[in-house]
Amino acid sequence: MTEPTSVSSGIVIATGVGIASILPGIDGDALIGAFAGATLFVVSAAKLPLWLRLVYLAISVIAGYQGAPEALRWLPLKSTGVAAFLCAACAITLTLALIERAKAIDLSSIIRRGGPPSA
């Protein structure tokens, strides 16, 4: 069963997104798409603590909203909502994977050899 605080905080956040989407200068489709994509990620990350999921929710919404115009340039999409959804759903997953990969790089050996390894 979900905690009452997580349900009520989710309602408050969703209401805030809905109200913000009707403000002038805000792309409502992109904002709602980004929120939906971020929510999908947060719901699928049930093993993480609530506070971390809320942080990831905020980061994903921002990344999805900001990434939607770029995704429209590179993908055959017509809706900013769909582009923002895809960006928000993938933002944290890809970023965490890149961070883990960067941790595995041994910079001292690259510097000693004088450059990156040749393939």
Are the C-beta atoms of 52 and 2 separated by less than 8 Å?
Answer: no
Alpha carbon distance 21, 29 (integer Å): 8
pLDDT given for residue 105 in this prediction: 78
Global pTM?
0.68
pLDDT tens for residues 24-58?
Answer: 677 878 888 998 999 888 888 889 898 898 899 88
Containing structural domain, residue 61: 4-113
Q: Is residue 119 part of a domain?
A: no
Q: Which residues does 35 contact at the CB level (< 8 Å), separation at least 6?
A: 13, 14, 17, 61, 64, 88
H runs (alpha helix) in the chain: 4-20, 28-44, 50-74, 80-103, 107-113
What is the distance between the alpha carbons of residues 84 and 77, in angstroms, rounded to a whole number?
Answer: 11
How much is the pLDDT for 119?
A: 56
pLDDT of 1 reads 47
Does 118 map to a domain? no
Domain count, the chain: 1
Residues in the chain predicted with pLDDT less than 50, given as ranges, are 1
31 domain-assigned? yes
* Predicted local distance difference test score (pLDDT) of residue 111: 72
